[in-house]
Structure 1
Amino acid sequence: MTRLERRAARLAAPLDAQRPPVNALLLQVAGEAYAAPLAQLLEILPANLTALPRTAPHVAGLQVVRGELLGVLRADVLLTGRPHPPGRPGRVLVTAAGASTCGLLVDDATDLVWVDDELQPAPFHSPGVSGLTAAGLAVLDLHRLLLALPAPWRPAP
């Protein structure tokens, strides 16, 4: 088969055969790229937070979502242990951990990607990282990340 014949066959293939399905959201936290499984996300919102004074560093604040208050945590503090300088307002990833719904503040949600099921172990310790892809992208486990919070802040089971 010539190069032109292969190209013609590829272009004639159905669209779902031309590109892989997606199963993760590519996001930015403190200048680093991460992937979050779509199965763990309920929705993605623009950040419109009300700060809470005298709270732990990992608490970003509250956001009103359809008339309900949603507690939002900072992904940069949960993943790196320290806050990073604020940039743009960011995005809030809404997820459920146990019986609680919670928001996670990230810098940006940029793309949808495919992440293989077979991940390599992460060379660093973070309770919310389930592993690395072959390309070195850290894949988050949002449920484990939220359940690794200190006891008073942990979502209800």
Structure 2
Amino acid sequence: MSTVRQEQFIEMAIGQEHYAIGIDRIREIIRLQNITAIPHSRPHVKGVIHLRGNIVPVISLRILLGLPEDKPTKAARIVIVKDGDESVGVIVDRVTQVAVYSCLHVPPDSGEDSQSYVQRIGQNDRHLAAILNMDKILNK
């Protein structure tokens, strides 16, 4: 008897939009904390945090995707993502669930740069979620 392994994702929201990252790329999810700014860094780079003896850069997914900056709420989280042997924090408005999608679609090609950040569109019975291409996001 063979078993089919379904890919799992951590689903998060920015505003009303749903995004997802493959669970294999996630180290942990932490509450938003004080971030030390880095002068002259790119607008989406919010700074660094100290996490268990390591300095972790933190980026704003909101700014990277071209969305207006909004004041964080208590639900805001930093998703710590694996980038090889390193880690990068990604600020999101809230983490919603661990998801398995019934259908995965190729995103439409709009010719815009931000489109390359989305590798697939996940569909379940409630909504669609843009599955992020973390390699492209972290190499930005």
Taking structure 2 as the reference length, the TM-score comes to 0.76
Superposed CA RMSD in Å reads 2.5
**Which residue is equivalent to 1:35?**
20
Please report how far the alpha carbon of residue 48 of structure 1 lies from its aligned counterpart in structure 2 after TM superposition. 0.7
| 3-state SS of 1:137 partner | strand
Which AA in structure 1 matches 2:36? A
Q: Structure 1 122/34 Cα, relative in aligned 2: closer, same or farther at 3 Å?
A: farther
Report the structure, 1 or 2, having the larger helix content: 1
Structure-2 change in CA distance of 1:102 and 1:31 (3 Å)? same
Q: Which runs of 4+ in 1 moved over 3 A?
A: 122-125
CA contact (8 A) 2:38 2:46 kept: no
The corresponding residue for 1:56 is: 42
Q: Would you say 1:111 and 2:103 are equivalent positions?
A: no
Structure 2 unaligned spans of 5+: none
**How many positions carry a matched residue from both structures?**
128
Distance 2:96 2:7 in 1: 13
Deviates more, 1:42-51 or 1:95-104: 95-104
Shift of 1:107: 0.9
The CA distance in 2 between the partners of 1:33 and 1:45, in whole Å, is: 19
The residue correspondences of 1:1-157 to structure 2 (distance < 5 A) are 23-52=8-37, 54=39, 55-80=41-66, 82-88=67-73, 90-116=76-102, 118-124=104-110, 125=112, 126=114, 127-134=116-123, 135-147=127-139, 149=140
Larger radius of gyration: 1
CA contact (8 A) 2:36 2:49 kept: no
Gaps of 5+ in 1: 1-19, 150-157
Bigger shift: residues 129-138 or 66-75: 129-138
1:96 alignment partner, SS class = strand
Percent of pairs identical after alignment?
21
Contact 1:22 1:112 in 2 (8 A): no
Give the Cα separation in 2 of the matches to 1:56 and 1:31.
Answer: 25
Q: Displacement, 1:52?
A: 0.8
Shift of the alpha carbon at 1:63?
1.4
How far the C-alpha of 1:96 sits from its partner, in A, is: 2.2
